[in-house]
A and B are shown apart, each in its own frame.
Chain A
Amino acid sequence: MDLFVFVSGYILGSFAGATVGVLTWLVYGTINPYGFNFPTLIATCIGESLYGIFGGVLSKSGFGIAKSTAIAEKEFWETNFKMGVVGFLLTFVYDFFTNIVTGIVFGASLVPYIIAGVPFAIVHEVSNFFFFFFGCSVLINAIKKTGILGR
């Protein structure tokens, strides 16, 4: 989900990316099998929109994606690594932010609450590193090549 929001921002711009992030969480957070919690939903919406916003900012700042997705190309792997790092750091910010907000909402002490979320955070951030590493540049190139966005 995070990867798709980021790619939306990268291709369509920060505003569109943030909108995709907010809308995605409005759907998922409303019909969440673990229950609905409004402050948590707001926090996750804001957190998720960061992926889109940052995707747009990265695109605007001239951060290029490797044109070739051939595995023999060094540039392809360099881009993948950079995207993996971006995915990891954005997920870190997202986890940190949402943990703080849910900790405040449920009236828990913040430090133990954040530490309690560490096992999930590790899985979330490391998995996002790999999702961004393997998926980001391929997805962006694939969408660009379809030509549906007119770019």
Chain B
Amino acid sequence: MVKKNIFMWTSLGLICVLIVSTYLTAQYYMEFVKYQQLYNETLKELQKFDKYIFVNLLIDYGNGTKEWHNNTLIVRWADLLNATKMVADVDYITGEYGAFVTSINRVGGDPNTYWLWYTWNSTSLNWDFGPVASDAYVLREGEIVAWIYTRF
């Protein structure tokens, strides 16, 4: 009788342990499902950004005023001209060699002063002169480019 009693109470104690284990399992499973859902949602969000890149644009008006547009989100494969048009009012003419910017944010047209663009060389730590017209230059992820109103 005593033995049976011990078995019964041990079983009841084990049932308590079983209940706690089941609770913890259910709880961790729910947490797992929740975080898996969040992970999938984040992946979906990130896929949206696959079509876009971030670039940093500087507009130097040549009079000491410099305007930075850091982390500007642009469409991948966008050219510099289109990227600049996203952050400023740009006037330009199209010639034999491509687009030639005449004014940015209504600044331009002064004698012997022109809008020239540069790209930041992170190796030499210098601004490199833009090798082609701005509408022919495709920007890369994280690139730093500058428009400088340059007097000759």
A119 interfacial by beta-carbon distance below 8 Å? yes
A118 to B23, CA, bound (A): 6
* CB within 8 Å of B: which A78-102 residues: 81-82, 85, 88-89, 92
Q: B15: nearest residue on chain A (CB-CB)?
A: A89
Residue-by-residue, is A93-123 near B (CB-CB < 8 Å gives 1, otherwise 0)?
A: 0000000000000000000100110110110
B15 CB to closest chain A CB (Å) equals: 7
- Interface flag for A2 (CB, 8 Å): no
Task: Judge whether B16 is part of the interface by a CB distance below 8 angstroms.
Answer: yes
Does B26 contact A85, Cβ atoms closer than 8 Å?
A: no
What range describes how many residues of A lie at the interface? 10 to 19
For chain B, the count of residues having a C-beta within 8 Å of the partner chain is 12
Q: Is the CB of B9 within 8 A of A85?
A: yes
User: Is A125 within 8 A of B20, CB to CB?
Assistant: yes
> CB-defined interface of B1-41 with A at 8 Å, one 1/0 digit per residue?
00000000100110110011001101100100000000000
* B20 adjacent to A126 (CB under 8 Å): yes
Residue ID in chain A nearest B24 by CB atoms: A122
Residue of A nearest to B12 (CB): A85
Contact A118 B20 (CB under 8 A): no
Which listed residue, B13, B23, B30, touches A121 by the CB 8 Å rule?
B23
Given contacts A81-B9, A85-B9, contact A118 B26 (CB under 8 A): yes
| B16–A119 CB distance below 8 A | no
Using a CB–CB distance below 8 Å, which chain B residues touch chain A? 9, 12-13, 15-16, 19-20, 23-24, 26-27, 30
What are 22 A-B contacts with C-beta separation under 8 Å?
A: A81-B13, A85-B9, A85-B12, A85-B16, A88-B16, A89-B15, A92-B16, A115-B26, A115-B27, A115-B30, A118-B26, A118-B27, A118-B30, A119-B27, A121-B23, A122-B20, A122-B24, A122-B27, A125-B19, A125-B20, A126-B20, A129-B16
| A→B interface (CB under 8 Å) | 81-82, 85, 88-89, 92, 112, 115-116, 118-119, 121-122, 125-126, 129
